[in-house]
A and B are shown apart, each in its own frame.
Chain A
């Protein structure tokens, strides 16, 4: 492979990106403007009644906790998962596998019994605290789960009677409540921006084919591998610059997650890998489309599902539609970034590694498909 040829194409593509005002707007300004407008307008709510996965750590030395668990199950909104230790539950919470953890204290039965023995005499009650940990990466979970759990606790003591010896303390709730809707959307905004590369790739290839540049480049001794390498690296660089701009914008708007430099480096790496799938989709569009106008239209077929199913735009979609989101790579990018930035998961956590694996495999497959499709066009 001749590096001079590859770098020549990268330089050309970057110059085009900077100098073509339409491309500049589409790739850099539009996502930023959209992110700004969208994040200040919407909060993400609505859709079907969701079901939340709740982790239970039952340390109660009596049997009264079973009454609480039955009551929680009866809500039909909470799906209970029993954990034997706090560590595993917290680990699953940090990776978004469950939306909350309820820690039932060991004196729960004693407390409830003390209340039932003297409901009107608080001095004889044994006070205890149930601790609720919430998924900080889910705006809906932090807002919806605490009142549901509180309502169940009220029900098992006595209807509409207050006070009670059972107190619900929401760990991290104060912190979670401080997060704005915008911050909950921030991870998806990184993904959102990158998707627009599909338009750019499709347009660029179709234009070059239409104005004879593709043929002219083919007449030179450049190999198909050098050509594709030059193009793919160009778009990877553009994706990195885009991520840096989105990050700057988010930072200026107040998104400052408590993560280390490794997490940022990983974010940029993940977005670079993700850009490969967008190049792949762009190549598929460029193969099908005969004109730049058609390329824009067909690009929407690939942009919209990624946008609505895999970024912050899809945060408030119904649960059935959210199942469909598992089939787009952008979902896994957003999920990994949400785990890292909002839930505080480690890069090496199971969820983040799984997301990385899915993103890498799917992006490699989509890119290979795009290159194969386009190679046919390139040959003919």
Chain B
């Protein structure tokens, strides 16, 4: 892919004897919204952790915007934004103070911070609650704030690790609308999810990952038509013989 901004080549990650990623290769183009789809424990978060430089791969190469993630980690961190799977925010700070902390950690100047903050809190429907301590927030509000913290420095590449997990439908639609808006701003987004409808709704392409292996990689429509099925869930069943969210129900 000529204009690839994220490149993953032959990525392997082992945790002692467990192979979390097994020779994964992938390229994501600038401005693309790419979905990593798979059940819990498939290796989606491991890929995100390696991409943002907090986890070292066992072997393989990863670069973002031409920078080797392992060697030029600090440079990479400046233009990526990560919304982790866990709702990591400080409960004793207000929403605004949480955002201020992360704005400072990304060394955003005060003027830019104010503008970004106003826009993000407004878009994610948290403006009225910005000055409330987050311990008083609902689960959906916390997830939306987590989203704001990931975007406060206006990153070029955004990793959203299960961004809508545990959200009420109203919050989920607010986030989906905002993700579409980010795409219109030509941001590159890698989104992990195990919600099929989320992937179908938002993603330009999806990679289906299972047991650390990339088992399918195409636009959702192509995957559905190529496999002659009705939706992505059925694509997953066709490849693995089981439902994507089976593990959660056990």
Residues of the A chain whose Cβ atoms lie less than 8 Å from the Cβ of B107: 2, 4-5, 221
* CB–CB B54/A215 < 8 A: yes
- State which of A4, A8, A20, A217 has its C-beta within 8 Å of the C-beta of B92: A20
A223 to B77, CA, bound (A): 11
* Contact yes or no, B86 A5, CB < 8 A: no
B-chain residues with CB within 8 Å of residue A211 when the two chains form the complex:
86, 88
> In chain B between 66 and 95, which residues have their CB closer than 8 angstroms to a CB of chain A?
74, 77-78, 80, 82, 84, 86-90, 92-93
From B52, B77, B101, B133, contact of A12 by CB (8 A): B101
Tell me whether A220 and B84 are in contact in the complex, defined as CB-CB below 8 angstroms, given that A5-B104, A5-B105, A15-B97 are known contacts: no
Q: How far is the CA of A223 from the CA of B149 in the complex (A)?
A: 19
Number of interface residues of B (CB under 8 A): 26
Please tell me if B106 contacts chain A, counting CB pairs below 8 Å.
yes
Cβ-based interface call for B61 (8 A):
no
Cα A219 to Cα B100 in complex, Å, equals: 16
Report Cα–Cα, A20/B107, bound state, in Å: 27
B102: Cβ under 8 A from any A Cβ: yes
Would you call B74 and A223 a contact (CB within 8 A)? yes
B127 to chain A, nearest CB (A): 21
In contact, B92 and A16 (Cβ under 8 angstroms): yes
Q: Which residues of the other chain, B, contact A20 by a CB distance below 8 angstroms?
A: 92
Would you list which residues of chain B between 147 and 179 have a CB under 8 Å from chain A?
149
Within 8 Å of chain B (Cβ to Cβ): is A218? yes
**Structural contact, B92 and A15, CB atoms closer than 8 A:** yes
Contact with A along B85-125 (1 / 0, CB 8 A): 01111101100010011101111000000000000000000
Which of chain A's residues has its CB closest to B153's CB?
Answer: A220
Closest beta carbon of chain B to A179's beta carbon, Å: 42
Closest residue of chain A to B78 (Cβ to Cβ) is A221
With both beta carbons as reference points, the residue of chain A lying nearest to B74 in the complex is identified as: A221
Chain A residues with CB under 8 A of B82: 216, 219
Distance A221 CA – B89 CA, assembled complex (angstroms) = 18
A212 on the B face (CB < 8 A): yes
**Judging by beta carbons under 8 Å apart, are B92 and A219 in contact?**
no
In angstroms, how far is the closest chain B Cβ from the Cβ of A207?
Answer: 10
Bound-complex Cα distance A311 to B73 (A):
46
User: Contact partner of A220 among B89, B90, B102, CB < 8 A?
Assistant: B102
| Interface residue A213 (Cβ < 8 Å from any Cβ of B) | yes
A2–B109 Cα distance when bound, in Å, is 13
Residues of chain B lying within 8 A (CB to CB) of residue A215? 54, 84, 88
The reply to whether the CB of A268 lies closer than 8 angstroms to some CB of chain B is: no
Q: Whole-angstrom distance between the alpha carbons of A20 and B52 in the complex? A: 31
Residues of A within 8 A of B92 (CB): 15-16, 19-20
How far is B133's CA from A223's CA once the two chains are assembled, in angstroms? 28
Residues of A within 8 A of B77 (CB): 219-221
- Evaluate contact between A12 and B74: CB separation under 8 angstroms: no
Q: Can you name the residue of chain A whose Cβ is closest to the Cβ of B53?
A: A219
Q: Answer whether A218 and B54 are a contact pair too, CB < 8 Å, given A19-B92, A223-B74.
A: yes
A7 beta carbon closer than 8 Å to chain B: yes
- The answer, yes or no, to whether A222 is at the interface (CB within 8 Å) is yes
User: Across the interface, do B88 and A212 meet the contact criterion of CB distance under 8 Å?
Assistant: yes
The docked-state distance in angstroms from the alpha carbon of A2 to that of B74 is 13
Q: Could you tell me the distance between the alpha carbons of A218 and B89 in the complex, rounded to whole angstroms?
A: 14
Q: Smallest distance from the beta carbon of A227 to chain B beta carbons, Å?
A: 9
Decide if B52 touches A219 in the complex (CB within 8 Å): yes
In the complex, are the beta carbons of A8 and B101 less than 8 A apart? yes
B88 CB contact (under 8 Å) in A4, A7, A216: A216
Nearest chain A CB to B151 CB, angstrom units: 13
- B163 to nearest A CB, angstroms? 14
User: Which 4 residue pairs are nearest across A and B when measured between Cβ atoms?
Assistant: A8-B104, A212-B88, A212-B86, A220-B105
Please give the residue numbers on chain B whose beta carbons come within 8 Å of chain A beta carbons, in ascending order. Answer: 52-54, 74, 77-78, 80, 82, 84, 86-90, 92-93, 97, 100-102, 104-107, 133, 149
